[in-house]
Structure 1
């Protein structure tokens, strides 16, 4: 059992550490995404610099990293190695390691992205209904403000709020505590974006580009 948990922990971190934006940019566009746009190695900057196709691929893979890492706990549950409550705890633990991997990837000198897409994948595996609600909240805020960063922060903050209010029925307390922690983490990693929003210098993005 200890061997399983240790192995899955390492695997979760390594999954999160896959620098999708960097590898994709180098492989298909011969550029280092960190030297363009905001300099962030994530999906948003990939959308901005390389376009919708590249951004969509990076977003999907980064979310998949979090989803797969979190789902590793289900393997132990279906193998009858842990009960459901322990499974939920391990889901949070493995998913969090994937997020840490994305923030501090071993494959590129521990300098990664902001972890929003990987967090989304984790939440989809942990609580699909709440994840879909968060996506809807993100899209509404983004459509109104055109700030990806603001949409990400508002969605992450409202995620534990919705769970606390019981919108989706009874929820394991550990998931709510995790949601609060993630909200704080997302806001912290976007602290410079907050400064730029107040200064009016934050980059805007548009789902439908304005016609020239």
Structure 2
């Protein structure tokens, strides 16, 4: 995320950095132990731009981020009026726990906020790519469900495969097949048993 700033001629920017949520002018993100080794701030008065890079993004990183500019004038610091809101969300796989053979079922890979662009979703069954099934946006359709569809499913956004959902087990219920009943079971007589 970036902020672009301007200042009056003659003013010298001595420091530019990012804070989160509390607008604490004294503590930049790079000083916060929760961000240790995960943030990189690139600011320059010549570019008048300050960029914050966060790696290994975590749910706790959600919040409002503000750019702080400190000048050569004593006690002269400005914070951006409008922050950048970061919402960290994970994917969630919505599936029925048990399905019946022969019915139509759809699985949905969802988020708590909209994804930008037109993300392509990847589906896996038992750790292998799902093939030969209808996929539409964030949905996987099984029309109709077969016994061999039973397994553990997960989904991810292409390019972010390391952030896949946890596998969800799907059990397929099916009627018994190839069963038979002997109409005339052997009858043991008491004499045969003794």
TM-score range, shorter chain: under 0.3
Which has the larger share of helix? 1
Normalised by the length of structure 2, the TM-score is: 0.25
Larger-Rg structure: 2
Normalised by the length of structure 1, the TM-score is: 0.23
